[in-house]
Amino acid sequence: MRLGIEAAFSEQNASGGVHGRMLELISMDDRYEPSFAYANTRTLIAKEKVFGLIGEVGTPTSRSAAPLADSEAVPFLAPFTGAGFLRDPELKTVVNLRASYAQETEHMVERLTADLGVTRVAVLYQNDSYGQSGLNGVIDALDRHSLKPVATWYYERNTSAVKAAVFHISEANPEAVIMIGAYQPVANAISLLRLDIDPIFLAVSFVGSNALVRELGEEATGVFITQVVPLPDDHDTPVVTEYLAALQSFNANAEPGFVSLEGYLAGRLAIFGLKACKDLTRSCFLNALQHSQSIDLSGVRLQYGPDDNQGSDDVILTMIDQQGRIVRTASLEGNK
């Protein structure tokens, strides 16, 4: 996420910045823990005097950081999470880029039921607000089809201790397992579950597709992942070509991926808001983003409006193929 933002900022700085101002990203490591996220946010606002916050990674961390930023009227831009609470219009300084977890899980359930007639769905989730957000999305989506999960079980954040969850899910013998987690525990769970059962595996975008492929190796084939940004090799979308050029210029050794592309889009969104404000204030910046009729980031179109702080509703279904490539697929049918 940081890599993509820095690539976007570096690209803009190379052409003179924004109205003569150079862009700088100050990064702090919250270790994916809410307490550190809160402390870091307070430091960035009070000591570093940042103009805004961008690309916060994670739901539990954003749950700590976003209200603090909002209370200080500091922009909280493009967090890397689809959590529902960040879509609350009462958070006046939050500007989301991506589709929500509810939309990702709705897409999964729709494809499972429409393409394959699946009725037995289990959920593996991280035991925090991220996992709960995704779990709620699955439950709501299944309910609209008059279904319930056959099993739901969790693992603890920042661990790969999934054996208990695997046992309970395997015992229910589901046709599909929806996974709301990070790449290491998700990969571990897939490997263990495949020893006993052969379900369809689906993961939400936060899992980190490229990292999941590396972690699973040959076992990655056939895993489905919902994405909320274009594929990093989609040259039909101009911003992807621009992202690849910016990434190459910033770090020639960097591997393109969904997460850094989302970071790049976040950086481009920030630049759009900054360009709109020659006399720069936070209020002007937020108004430029929240009240634009439409924002076109070279082919990725964002739309905000009254009580709508989420720019994109796009959800793309992808699958890991036998070569370890992440490819777009319109249907689950014939791809298991």
- What whole-number distance in Å separates Cα of residue 202 and Cα of residue 198? 13
Residue 266 included in any domain = yes
**Same domain, residue pair 106 and 167:** yes
Which tokens go with 145?
């089809």
**Same domain, residue pair 51 and 181:** no
**Same domain, residue pair 213 and 279:** no
Percent of the chain with pLDDT over 90: 97
User: Could you read off the pLDDT of 79-137 as tens digits, one per residue?
Assistant: 999 999 999 999 999 999 999 999 999 999 999 999 999 999 999 999 999 999 999 99
- What whole-number distance in Å separates Cα of residue 140 and Cα of residue 121? 13
- What whole-number distance in Å separates Cα of residue 11 and Cα of residue 246? 6
- How many other CB atoms are found less than 10 A from the CB of residue 262? 24
How many alpha carbons lie under 13 Å from residue 8 in its C-beta half-sphere? 23
**Same domain, residue pair 124 and 200:** yes
Which tokens go with 252?
């020639």
Distances (CA, A) of 89 to 223, 308, 324: 35, 7, 40
Residue 310 included in any domain = no
**Same domain, residue pair 282 and 141:** no
Report whether 86 contacts 66 (CB < 8 A): yes
- Residue-level pLDDT at 336: 59
**Same domain, residue pair 211 and 123:** yes
Residue 334 included in any domain = no
Domain that holds residue 43: 2-98+232-302
Distances (CA, A) of 159 to 74, 156, 163, 225: 32, 6, 11, 21
Regions of the chain short of the pLDDT cut 70: 336
- Which CATH number is 126's domain given? 3.40.50.2300
What stretch of H or E contains 176?
A: strand 176-180
**Same domain, residue pair 114 and 222:** yes
At 107, which amino acid appears?
H
User: DSSP label at 312?
Assistant: -
Which tokens go with 269?
């969104």
Averaged pLDDT of the chain = 97
**Same domain, residue pair 77 and 171:** no
Q: Is 52 helix (H, G, I), strand (E, B) or coil?
A: coil
- What whole-number distance in Å separates Cα of residue 210 and Cα of residue 262? 13
Three-state SS letters, 181-200: CCHHHHHHHHHHHCCCCCCE
List the Cα angle 294/290/272 in 5-degree steps.
65
Residue for token digits 């890991």? 320
| Backbone torsions φ then ψ of 295, nearest 5 degrees | -115, 120
Q: How far is CA 260 from the centre of its chain?
A: 11
User: DSSP label at 279?
Assistant: S
**Same domain, residue pair 257 and 187:** no
**Same domain, residue pair 71 and 9:** yes
**Same domain, residue pair 147 and 253:** no
- What whole-number distance in Å separates Cα of residue 157 and Cα of residue 18? 39
- What whole-number distance in Å separates Cα of residue 225 and Cα of residue 204? 6
